[in-house]
Amino acid sequence: MSFSYLSTIVFLPVIGAIIIAFVPGLRDRAIKSIAVIFTAVPLALAIFLFVAFDRSLVAAGTFQFEEKVAWIPGINAFYHLGVDGISLPMVVLTALLGFLAVPISWKIHERPREYFAWLLLLETSILGVFTSLDLLLFFLFWEVEIIPMYFLISIWGTGRREYSAIKYVVYTLFGSALMLAGILSLYFTTGSLSITDIAVTGLGEYTAVIPVAAIFFLLLAGFAVKLPVFPVHTWLPDAHTDAPTAVSVMLAGTLIKMGGYGMIRLNVTLFPDVAQQYAPILVILAVISVLYGAAVTLRQTDLKRLIAYSSISHMGYVLLGIFALTPISLTGATLQMFSHGVVTGLLFAMAGLVMHNAHERNLAKLGGLARQMPVIAVVFSVAALGSLGLPSTSGFAAEFLVFVGSYASTLVAGIQVYTILAVLGVVLAAGYILWMLQRVFYGPVLDQFNGSPDADGLEKAYIFTLVAVIMLVGIYPAILTDVIKIGVSPIAGLLVTPG
C-alpha cells in the first residue's frame, strides 16, 4: 500500500490543532510555529500531488491517490478519499490559503491557543470535503466546519459578531439539513454511499424513493446557501464582514467553494438529466446573482463589506459556468473558484492590513493611502484588478472561459442572452473596484494616517506569494486548466445535446 497522501494532507492540520489545544504551557510563538508546520507540510504535499497528478487523457474519469477502507460496513459506508482534476485544484487552494492564514493571523494575541486550534480544524474539514468520495464522510466534514467557524467569528470577530456567527450557523444548518435529506434519499434509492459508484451506474436503473428532481434540489439547497446564490446569500456579507481577517480569507477563499464543488460533484455528475432540465432556472439565478450582487456592491461604504458583496457577484459566474454544462464553461467555473479564492483571499488580507494599520474601514473616511502605504497600495491594486478580470490575472482567464463556454453552450435554451447579461457584470465590477481603489488610495494625503505603517516583512512575504499565484495562473492558465479539463471531461460525456 502506498503512502496515504490525502489522509496526511487532510488530517495533519487537525493533529496540529489537537497538539495546540491540549499540550499545556505553549506560548504564543510556539503555538504559531506549530500551526506553521502543520499547515506547511500539507501544502508541500498538495503541491507534490499537483505535480505528480496524471494529466493524460487515460486518467480522465478516474480518481487518483485513492484511499478506500471499510468504515461502517452495516450501512455500506467507506472511508474513501481521492482527487480528480476538479478537486485537486481545490485541495491546493485550501492548503495554500490554510497555510497563509497562519501568518495572516500573526498579530492575533487574544486566546491564541483556541484561535489556532479552531483555524486548523477548519482547514481539515474543508480539505475533507474536497477529497471525500463517500457521501457520509462528505457530509461529516461538511458539518464539522460549522463549529470552528462559529467560534472564530463570535470570539475574534468585529462589529455584530455574535449575530453574524449565529446567522451563519443557522443558515448553514438549514442548508445542510436539506442536503442530509438528499443524501439519505440517495442512499435509500441506491443502497450505496459511494459517489464514484453512483456516478458510474447512474440513477436510471433505480426506483427513487422520492422524485429524482427532489433529491437534486435537496442537495442543491445546501450548496446554494454555501456558494451563495441569490436569494439565500445574506449570511455572507455579515459573516465575511465581521470575521477576523484570516477567517474572511478562508471563508471567501475556500469555504464557499464547497458549494460550487458540491454542485459539480453531486448535482451535475449524478443527475445530468435533471441538471439539464433545470439549467435555465439556475442560469437565470446566476445572472441575478452577478448583476444584483454587483449593483449592491456599488452601494457599499464599508471596505470589507464591499469585497464581501463582490463575492456574490463573482460566484454567480461559477453558477453560470456550471449550469451552462459545457466542458469549457465547467472548466471555467472551476478555474473561477480557484481564481476567486486567491484574488478575494488576497483582497481580504489587504483589507485587513489597511484596517489594522490605518484603524479605519469606512470608505468615506479613508483616502490618499498610496503615499503612506505604497506596498499595500500596489498589492491591493493587483488583487483588485484580478477581481475586475484584467488580462494577465487569473480573474480574466477564468471569467473568459466561463463566458466563451457558456455563450457557445447548446444545452441550455436562451443561454446566449443570459451570458451577455452576465458579461455586463464585468463593467459594473470595474465601477465598484475602481471606486474602492480611488476611495482608499487616491486623493489628498490625509494627516491622520501619517505614521500608519506599510506592510512589514512577513506581510510582504504572504501577499507577494498570492500575487505570484494570481499572475502565474493569469499568464499561463493551462497550468490549471490542463488538470481541470481531465476532471471535467467525463461529465461532458454524461450530457447529451438535445435533438
Partner 1 sequence: MSEAAAWLVLFLPLASFLIISLVIRPFFNRYSQWAGYLTILAIGGALVLSLMALKATTGHEGPIGWDPHSWITVGSFNLRLGIYMNSLTAIMLVVVSGVSLMVQVYSQGYMKGDPGYARYFAFMSLFTASMLGLVLASNVVMLYAFWELVGLCSYLLIGFWYHRPAAAAAAKKAFIVTRLGDFGFLLAILYLFFHQGAIAGQGLNSLEIPDIYRAVQTGLLGTAVLTWLGLGIFAGAVGKSAQFPLHVWLPDAMEGPTPVSALIHAATMVAAGVFLVARFFPIFEAAPATLRLVAVIGGATAVFAATMGMVMNDIKRVVAYSTISQLGYMMLGLGVAGLAVAREGHVTAEVARAAVAIGIFHLFNHAFFKALLFLGSGSVNHATGTVDMRLMGGLRKVMPWTYITFVIAGLSLAGVWPLAGFWSKDEILAVALKEQPVLFALALLTVFMTAFYIFRVVFLTFCGEYRGGAPGEHGHDAHAHGKPHESPPVMVVPMVILSVLAVISGFWNVNGAFSVFMGEGQTKGFFEGFFGILAHPLPWIAMIVAGLGIFLAYLMYGSKRISAERMGERFKPIYTLFYRKYYFDELYENLFVRRSLVNGLFAGFQKFDTNVVDGAVNGLANVTVATGKGVRRWQTGQLQLYGLFMGIGIVVIVLVLLFAG
Which residues contact partner 1 (rule: CB under 8 A)?
167, 170-171, 230-231, 233-235, 292, 295-296, 298-299, 326-328, 331-332, 368, 370-371, 385, 390-392, 396-397, 400-401, 403-405, 407-408, 416, 419-420, 423-424, 426-427, 430-431, 434-435, 438, 441-445, 476-478, 481, 484-485, 492
Query: Is the CB of 177 or the CB of 478 nearer to partner 1?
Result: 478
Query: Is the CB of 120 or the CB of 402 nearer to partner 1?
Result: 402
Distance CA 305, CA 429 (A): 15
Q: Cα 413 to the chain's mean position, in Å?
A: 28
Question: What Cα–Cα distance (Å) separates residue 106 from each residue in 28, 239, 267?
Answer: 10, 21, 39
If DSSP codes are grouped into helix, strand and coil, which group holds residue 33? helix
Residue 272 beta carbon to partner 1: minimum distance, rounded to whole angstroms? 17
Query: Is the CB of 28 or the CB of 482 nearer to partner 1?
Result: 482
Residue 487 beta carbon to partner 1: minimum distance, rounded to whole angstroms? 12
Query: Is the CB of 94 or the CB of 164 nearer to partner 1?
Result: 164
- Under 8 Å between Cβ of 411 and 495: yes
Residue 402 beta carbon to partner 1: minimum distance, rounded to whole angstroms? 11
Query: Is the CB of 223 or the CB of 235 nearer to partner 1?
Result: 235
For every residue of 283-348, DSSP letters joined together read: HHHHHHHHHHHHHHHTT--BHHHHHHHHHHHHHHHHHHHHHH--HHHHHHHHHHHHHHHHHHHHHH
Q: Which residue has the cell 481580504?
A: 348
* Torsion of Cα atoms, 425 then 431 then 436 then 442, to 10°: 150
244 backbone dihedrals φ, ψ, rounded to 5°: -65, 160
Residue 70 beta carbon to partner 1: minimum distance, rounded to whole angstroms? 38
Distance CA 483, CA 24 (A): 44
Query: Is the CB of 17 or the CB of 483 nearer to partner 1?
Result: 483
Query: Is the CB of 246 or the CB of 328 nearer to partner 1?
Result: 328
Of 119, 123, 121, whose CA–CA distance to 106 is shortest? 119
Q: What is the DSSP letter of 100?
A: H
Q: How many CB atoms lie within 10 A of CB 106?
A: 16
Of 218, 358, 242, 255, whose CA–CA distance to 304 is shortest? 242
Residue 419 beta carbon to partner 1: minimum distance, rounded to whole angstroms? 7
Query: Is the CB of 217 or the CB of 464 nearer to partner 1?
Result: 464
Query: Is the CB of 40 or the CB of 214 nearer to partner 1?
Result: 214
Residue 307 beta carbon to partner 1: minimum distance, rounded to whole angstroms? 16
Of 223, 197, 225, 246, whose CA–CA distance to 80 is shortest? 197
If DSSP codes are grouped into helix, strand and coil, which group holds residue 170? helix
Residue 238 beta carbon to partner 1: minimum distance, rounded to whole angstroms? 8
